[in-house]
Amino acid sequence: MKKKREIFTKTSTYVILVIFSLLILMPLLWLSTTAFKTKAEIFSQPFNLLPEKPVLFNFTDAWDYAPFGSYYINTILVTFGLLAIQLVTITMAAYAFARLEFPGRDFLFILFLTQLMITPQSTIFPNYLTISQMGLLDTRLGVMLPYFASAMGTFLLRQAFKSVPKSLEDAGRLDGCNTFQLIWHVFLPVVKPSLIAFSIISVTYHWNEFLWPLLVTETSRSRTLTVGLTIFAQQAEGGAEWSLLMAATLIVIGPLLIAFTVLQKLFVQSFASSGMKG
């Protein structure tokens, strides 16, 4: 009886998980299949989820319809440029808060963490005024500047640094390492999972960010993919070009989907090792 109950419980759990997974995946599946359909096939009756004859010209037409090449370059430079800067700033700040002794350290750390309680949307107006006064509107630097520091990244890395044994630090100092050499050769290799976990969060967030780039960019020379896709969608919806719109959307989200599919095991291991839970 007990064995039957366990089988029933497991089966019910799997069925529920499969149903919810399908509900989550259906919009993505519909988007992906529509991107390979012709306009006539989208509105044909009866409705078919899968395209009868998959076509690729939707992607080339969408790419030519808007300057997605410029959008991609801007997004890559902003996303990975920010990641490089953030890795430096959070590493220095986290090391100071975790391993250095100075008056008011804990108070300053708590004050620093108050950023986590302030939503980015609430600081848009003062940030916009600052960027405008600095003459950085419609520039990639203007998109990046408000995110040079990260309270969440500093907190994550500080906790990781505090877990590094003091004996490793002492061994490094006995070998003649200065502070920067200690961080590079002793601390960073140990906290690699936390660095990867933060990198995933940072890249995903800034690749998909929409509101701030929308406010501070005006031309294709600095617009990111999300803003460019919105402008493209407004034009495509007017002509009911759903196949082009779905193809453009797949162009935008494709790199993240591919990266997650290929590196899924690394992602899960990094979050598990860093102590972060979804």
Token reading at 14? 């799997």
Name the amino acid, one letter, at 212.
W
- Token representation of residue 261: 């599919």
pLDDT of residue 278: 45
User: b or e along 23-61 (b: 16 or more beta carbons within 10 Å of the residue's beta carbon)?
Assistant: eeeeeeeebbbbbbbbeebbeeeeeeeebeeebeebbee
User: What are the pLDDT digits (tens) for 153-186?
Assistant: 999 999 999 988 888 888 888 888 888 999 998 9
- Tell me: pLDDT of 84 over 80: yes
Tens of pLDDT, residue by residue over 29-72, are: 888 888 898 888 887 777 777 888 888 888 998 898 889 999 99
Whether pTM exceeds 0.95: no
pLDDT in tens, 201-260: 999 999 999 999 999 999 989 999 999 999 888 876 655 678 888 999 999 998 888 888
Cα separation, 38 vs 185, in Å, equals 55
